[in-house]
Amino acid sequence: MTVLDDIRAEAGLPPVLPHTEAYGRVTEFLNYEAELLDSYRFGDWVGLFTDDVLYQMPVRTTQFLVDGEGFHEFDFFIDDHATLTTRVRRLETEFAWAETPPSRTRHFVSNLRLTRDEQSGDMAARLNFMITRTRQDLDYQLFTGVRHDRLVADGESFKIRRRVILVDQTVITATNLSVLF
């Protein structure tokens, strides 16, 4: 899977350390993005992605460690800008029943490690994510994993050129994946 090779390569790029201005701006951007999602500002959220974005969540399987990370050429999401926009437009109808009435989500991001691709100027962010979701009178559903974002400069802020979501579960113990990651 080429996108996983890309991610491994990014770990070897020059680090951007905490307490630098760049690290602070990326942190602020990621927190802002989470706030948009948790405030149902999906139209603003999809505006944070570049036109050539790849948004991907591979399916995970349980394997022995020596056999690799357990990703087998299948996905829960394989989206581009047009399909992400379609997801958002769908949520904006009154009839997307999986989110009507809407879930209440909290997107938590942490453990940010940031590298910079000196050639392109892109930032590569590796972070842990946790999303809690409750809807109607129902118990919490939980999504956790590692996210690998590739960020390009957009004025003082950023746009997301690639998001790979490495979810921890092999069996998703949730009704569906109607929340945005």
Question: What is the rounded distance in angstroms from the CA atom of residue 55 to the CA atom of residue 49?
Answer: 9
Q: Which two tokens stand for residue 49?
A: 């992605």
In the complex, the smallest distance separating the C-beta of residue 33 from other proteins, rounded to whole angstroms, is: 19
Rank residues 104 and 121 by Cβ distance to other proteins and give the closer one. Answer: 104
Rank residues 93 and 119 by Cβ distance to other proteins and give the closer one. Answer: 93
Rank residues 16 and 165 by Cβ distance to other proteins and give the closer one. Answer: 165
Rank residues 28 and 92 by Cβ distance to other proteins and give the closer one. Answer: 92
Q: Kindly give, in sequence order, each residue whose CB lies less than 8 Å from that of residue 69, ignoring residues fewer than 6 positions away.
A: 4, 60, 63, 166
Nearest to 144 by CA among 113, 114, 115, 111: 111
* Chain residues that interact with other proteins, rule: CB under 8 A: 57, 59, 61-64, 67, 70, 72-79, 82-83, 85-87, 89-90, 93-98, 170-178
Q: Give the CA radius of gyration of the chain.
A: 16
